Structure 1
């Protein structure tokens, strides 16, 4: 069991303190948000920023699902423009600009290069991207340019040169999705919100009139169960949106159809560039990205309709083969299975039309906002880039449903927790919190030790994740606080024992907890590898000295 004493401290983002707040609450909440991914966190931030008493409940860790498994792009959507979805692109381009403005420590301008192997394609995509620039208006990042063959070769030295005619450079955004999720949760807490991970909603409370009056929830760490009242309940559970809808009305048809996207991670030598490679239309009609990310290369993605959702989806062999084979058509060095450092899958919560369809091209990327007869507000669809606008629309509707006092949205210019100018170091993703980590290392020099020879992350970051970012498991730290699992699953396995020891010391947990955590994390991390890997002794850090 977790030690409350071990959790005592000055951090406003503290699970023990949040649990105490719901235990002490007798008046109920204005808004309860179910779901701790991009959508739910955005909704909770919007509600708390307007001054509403806000509670968010997440069954796993924040951004455990889809929201930590994206292509890491903040973009208007070149693909959506080609499909004629002009309104979505307008909205996304504006939100892209606001994200860069409000979270500059996590969002950056990313150049994309489209190599062209025909002059017609260069002209066709060049015109389209000029329109893309024009649509962005004052939120435009940089100007699209048509480039010659030599310039393309300099920008992307590893791109296939045979038949290359030239290309196009345009600019979109890149970000760290899970880090943004944590910072949004912290922002909500700073505005008075309460957020709990590993807190599962397993039922809805209803009055005699059939209207929803709250939720039944269980603390998965302690087994304690709660009935929590609210003026309005918001279903923001992403690919699990149908589960809550079924709790409300068991017979209704599913609202969401999941689509799986897969990414493989390679060594940076495959790209050797700060620019990303973008293929807008592969021979089979799909889109391919190869994006530099945290000193590695992220390659994807696929678009595979699925029948069911999972917290830990698995990449299909066909998807892995498609990515490797297609990337090999455009890179001088052809990636093979042995080159893959990590592979991960994510499920997109696509809002499906009433009629059945098996093509994700026919499923809307725009968000859907639905109010049930019971008063349950459901928000689904959309994408990371537009999370803020989705939240604004949702709370505008929740005000009506819950008869809340009318208050205007306050997030368009709200700085996200950690707001700071980016720095050329790995701690830059912590923004203004980076100084707190440096202070830890100065106070306790043993925390300066690196967790692995291949990565700059230190023991101090584990302590920070536990004390200030509500990390509860090894997976929370290595998957979503540090991103190592997504970058190099073998390295993550090697780090696990040291991370477990540091966490146990800071949370007051036992040796048995450490052993169970290392075992379960190793099993999980092997799902991110194409061949099984047995952990080795971590010689980079002696956990007992830094715990």
Structure 2
């Protein structure tokens, strides 16, 4: 996946008109692109920052049907999501693993209620089930979650769902799009829409690296920009009324000692009516999430103090090892693109996560809502709409059966391997080390990541900055922001050599990253000068 090659594909102008131009390189846009190339369409994805820079790298790391949506009676959404969960585990077996969740019960009624409800969850998953739910005794609940509070504990219910790495899936889907004839370009921002006879006919875009401007023609233009959809809709119609209001979800990351087993915890109803998860992830535990309506949005949202305190307080109620501010390895915030509430309502937790495809009278297609689990189906529905509203030929979707780049047979996946998320690419990274054994050196003494991974990411995964690598190619910024800061100089040096950058580039990259990474910490951290 070479950025230069994708740029070359748009350099020749009108001679390379696209069937679909997708604005947005997160889960939604990449899902649209994946389905488009599965039908043989010529698809271009333009992303203003890095792939999954926004919401799509900041999820709770779950591929799930959504137990809380079942409680809300949204059966169709749950059924669809459970089906997509099964397909994603099949097509991206190296990234999606079967996770057991424990719901601790402190009343007999809760145990009965959730046992019955989760049988419905099992039933809806059908042939793509990951395993059956069941009630468990107090002793088994304690053995599965040794740090669970035992006072008043009656037992629990366990069920199965998926756990995954969100931004790694984004990178692999982007690679899959390229391998099937599409093009993807990060750091290429759409600045306007072009029109012919009142219909959208393409986009104006600028390469943020070179400053070069492009006018690109496309039969269909898709707005898949998540919380930024209103900006694109305003380009189409300046008088446009906002359709999205962001809701912020915050997660805190702790050492594995707070959840020492392999099982996750699901607290079905917190004080604010949301679900709280504690999920094992890359040898750490992710705890969240919150639901805070916001009036503004950004690519780098910041956790609010009350959100941090809410998670700490709620976790303390259920865990014998109470997490404190000093225990936080990283804190990250993401924005959900929810429908703008009507009549002043702020109950965003009750808004359906179903997706919606809209077509403007100019032909611009906008996809909003949804969640990571259903990204492929969102893409399929969007391309179906594009076919019915434009001159694209009616070709059948085959994305259900498309293996994502890196996927290997499930029996070959070892999730205890710290490099599991590379899948089939792991042996190619090892090949780099075989050619130059210095690339086998660790970047940080406390973590297994090797120098070869930096070279691989710059060469084959379109990593353009040290943030791209440390935040989204490996996940260390989200796992341990202090360690990420310590790793920055070594990563900058390797990337500068690989990409033929200057010493000033290195210096600026390190400085910028240290500032960014401190936003993931509750106390400022400065790297050692030694």
Q: TM-score normalised by the shorter chain: which range applies?
A: over 0.9
Query: Using the alignment, how far apart are the partners of 1:456 and 1:326 within structure 2?
Result: 32
Query: Using the alignment, how far apart are the partners of 2:482 and 2:360 within structure 1?
Result: 46
Q: Does 1:152 align with 2:145?
A: no
Choose which of 513, 520, 525 in structure 1 pairs with 2:505. Answer: 513
Residue aligning to 1:122: 111
The 5 A counterparts of 1:390-469 are 390-420=378-408, 421-423=412-414, 424-469=416-461
TM-superposed deviation, 1:76: 0.2
Give yes or no for contact 2:251–2:333 (8 Å, CA) kept in 1. yes
Give yes or no for contact 1:351–1:365 (8 Å, CA) kept in 2. no
Residue aligning to 1:491: 483
Give yes or no for contact 2:467–2:513 (8 Å, CA) kept in 1. yes
Residue aligning to 1:244: 232
Q: Does 1:88 align with 2:80?
A: no
Q: Deviations over 1:316-371 (max 9, x none)?
A: 00000000110011000110100000000000111336554211034231001000
Residue aligning to 1:528: 520
TM-superposed deviation, 1:298: 0.3
Q: Does 1:385 align with 2:376?
A: no
- Identify if the C-alpha distance between structure 1 residues 72 and 237 changes in structure 2 by more than 3 Å, giving closer, same or farther: same
Q: Does 1:66 align with 2:58?
A: no
Query: Using the alignment, how far apart are the partners of 1:213 and 1:26 within structure 2?
Result: 11
TM-score by length of 2: 0.98
Choose which of 91, 101, 105 in structure 2 pairs with 1:112. Answer: 101
Query: Using the alignment, how far apart are the partners of 1:117 and 1:378 within structure 2?
Result: 45
Residue aligning to 2:304: 316
Residue aligning to 1:132: 121
Matched residue count: 525
The 5 A counterparts of 1:42-441 are 42-207=31-196, 209-352=197-340, 355-420=343-408, 421-423=412-414, 424-441=416-433
Residue aligning to 2:6: 18
Residue aligning to 2:468: 476
Query: Using the alignment, how far apart are the partners of 2:54 and 2:148 within structure 1?
Result: 33
TM-superposed deviation, 1:501: 0.3
Give yes or no for contact 1:63–1:181 (8 Å, CA) kept in 2. yes
Give yes or no for contact 1:30–1:404 (8 Å, CA) kept in 2. yes
Runs of 4+ in 1 over 6 A off after TM superposition: none
TM-score by length of 1: 0.95
Give yes or no for contact 2:256–2:280 (8 Å, CA) kept in 1. yes
Query: Using the alignment, how far apart are the partners of 1:353 and 1:91 within structure 2?
Result: 24
Query: Using the alignment, how far apart are the partners of 1:94 and 1:300 within structure 2?
Result: 25
SS in 1 for 2:189: strand
Give yes or no for contact 2:312–2:323 (8 Å, CA) kept in 1. yes
TM-superposed deviation, 1:61: 0.1
5+ residue gaps in structure 2? none
Query: Using the alignment, how far apart are the partners of 1:31 and 1:356 within structure 2?
Result: 37
SS in 1 for 2:22: strand
Residue aligning to 1:8: none
Query: Using the alignment, how far apart are the partners of 1:512 and 1:355 within structure 2?
Result: 52
SS in 1 for 2:520: coil
Q: Deviations over 1:102-142 (max 9, x none)?
A: 00000010000011111110111111001100111111111
Q: Deviations over 1:197-252 (max 9, x none)?
A: 00000100011x21000000000000000100111100000010000000001112
Query: Using the alignment, how far apart are the partners of 1:105 and 1:375 within structure 2?
Result: 38
Query: Using the alignment, how far apart are the partners of 2:35 and 2:77 within structure 1?
Result: 21
5+ residue gaps in structure 1? 1-12, 539-547
Give yes or no for contact 1:206–1:212 (8 Å, CA) kept in 2. yes
SS in 1 for 2:331: strand
Query: Using the alignment, how far apart are the partners of 2:462 and 2:343 within structure 1?
Result: 41
